[in-house]
A and B are shown apart, each in its own frame.
Chain A
Amino acid sequence: MLKKMLTEDVIRIHESAENWQQSIEFACQALLDNGAIEPSYVDAIFRSHQEIGPYYVVGPGIAMPHARPEDGVNRLSLSLTVIKQGVNFDNEENDPVKLLLTLAATDSVSHVEAIQQLVELFMNEEHIEAICNASDTAAVRSIVEQY
């Protein structure tokens, strides 16, 4: 499933980001480019961060920005963004964040399989480290292909 969803065009590597806001913009760009989400979806991610905080930072160095289907999702999609130098999300236990997986779901069930595989990936420290240190998108893709 990840293999199918995380094609090379939705994998982006950035050396750094000025702040968490910019890293979210980076993390959503590929899905805006391919029409999977509307700009309103990015706004909704910022809004929920403002209201609730960085709750979508799921583990050490990993964030999964997302909002709700009705916030502007055109199709079920994922994108993967690496910020090599990391960025702080004010989430003490898990900063700095280096890996962002933007999730855009169209309903509450169709993304279940993708989430299951993301959990598997997130628990594989070796793979996460390799992704965060990858020199190009092809190197990231070679790991994602195993899921």
Chain B
Amino acid sequence: MKIMVVCGNGLGTSLMMEMSIKTIVKNLAVTADVDHVDLGSAKGTVCDIFVGTKDITEQLVAQNVEGEIVTLDNMIDKAAMKERLSEALTKLGAL
């Protein structure tokens, strides 16, 4: 399972989400490779799940990236993050 966190610059907010997501997948006992990337590089990236805030995921949808897209309202609410990630992981059969 490869999870890619996407943000505008690929070093601030995505890093923030990446840290939380690493904790979440560990707690869910899912083996996943979590990394982050900037929006410009996301299109060519092969992965199972893309995660980002609304501004970012809207553009991922527009770019037709291949993979599940998980949209977050904010990067601090770990409970919502876990819920939405779990949905995507279930859909992909990893949970």
Question: Which of B3-11, B26-34, B83-91 lines the interface with chain A?
Answer: B3-11
A55-B7, A55-B56 known; A62 and B76 CB under 8 Å? yes
Are B13 and A68 closer than 8 Å at their CB atoms? no
Closest Cβ of chain A to B6, distance in Å, is 9
Determine the interface band of chain B, counting residues with CB < 8 A from chain A.
20 to 34
CB of B77 within 8 A of CB of A115, answer no
Q: Which residue in A93, A111, A119, A123 is a CB contact (below 8 Å) of B73?
A: A93
Number of interface residues of A (CB under 8 A): 30
Chain A residues in 8 Å Cβ range of B16: 58, 64, 115, 118-119
Report the minimum CB–CB distance from A111 to chain B (whole Å). 8
Stretch from A22-30, A46-54, A132-140 that touches the partner:
A46-54
Chain A residues in contact with chain B, CB under 8 A? 48, 51-60, 62, 64, 66-69, 93-94, 103, 105, 108, 111-112, 115-116, 118-119, 122-123
Could you list some 10 contacts between A and B, CB below 8 A? A52-B56, A53-B55, A59-B77, A60-B74, A93-B74, A115-B12, A116-B19, A118-B16, A119-B76, A122-B76
Which residues does B use to contact A, with CB under 8 Å?
A: 7-13, 15-16, 19-20, 39, 52-56, 59, 73-78
Interchain residue pairs A-B with the least CB separation, the first 3: A59-B76, A53-B55, A59-B74
